[in-house]
Chain A
Amino acid sequence: AQTVTQSQPEMSVQEAETVTLSCTYDTSESNYYLFWYKQPPSRQMILVIRQEAYKQQNATENRFSVNFQKAAKSFSLKISDSQLGDTAMYFCAFRNRDDKIIFGKGTRLHILP
């Protein structure tokens, strides 16, 4: 069974610092997608960034980037120049051809002024 593990339940960083959220997953599939979703206090789910497993190049979206290590089954999210609006719950998620997305338990990120 596929699993997604986020080992950091909660993190706090100062505004403008860089923070890395970790995520590991387990699968026997070779082709799949990985995502980071942000859930602000409004509880809406917002896609932050996505990565195709067959692409070696790490995805980047403005201040957000990932470090995708396929052999290690690791998919960490780096937030550069963190802003107060980045305060949210962040979920790592995995999707393959089984037609569903599996989420990790989330990391609560606090950006401190």
Chain B
Amino acid sequence: EPEVTQTPSHQVTQMGQEVILRCVPISNHLYFYWYRQILGQKVEFLVSFYNNEISEKSEIFDDQFSVERPDGSNFTLKIRSTKLEDSAMYFCATTLGILSEKLFFGSGTQLSVL
């Protein structure tokens, strides 16, 4: 089965530093998402991305966050100035399209902000 690849698997950073989380989606997929999960809590929607634009974002996704797909393959999530509360597992997910049922998740990036 095709896979969504996320790098790095673990990222440790100092508070205030910028981090970029990377995702390589499945090649023919058109819709991309970022979710996060703070340890022990539920999976929260951050942002959806289609046709090189954000299609929807949650209240978590403030000005410190941005997404882009600069080279047509990697899909990145940037956190400009990390805060302690940004520590979480970040999941990338992709799907063929809005009518497609299955969301494929990457294995996640564990971000630890110190």
Contact = CB atoms under 8 A, between A and B. Distances in A.
Interface residues of A, number: 23
Contact of A45 (B45, B50, B55, B105): B105
Given A43-B108, A45-B91, A91 B103 contact: no
A103 B42 contact: yes
A91 B37 CA distance: 12
Interface string A74-113: 0000000000000000010001011111111110000000
A32 B33 CA distance: 18
Contacts of A98: 56
A53 to B, nearest CB: 11
Nearest to A104: B42
Interface in B35-76: 37, 41-45, 48, 50, 55-56
B50 A103 contact: no
B108 A33 contact: no
Given A97-B98, A99-B55, A104-B42, 5 more contacts: A47-B102, A99-B56, A101-B45, A101-B93, A103-B44
Interface of B: 31, 33, 37, 41-45, 48, 50, 55-56, 89, 91, 93, 98, 101-103, 105, 107-108, 110
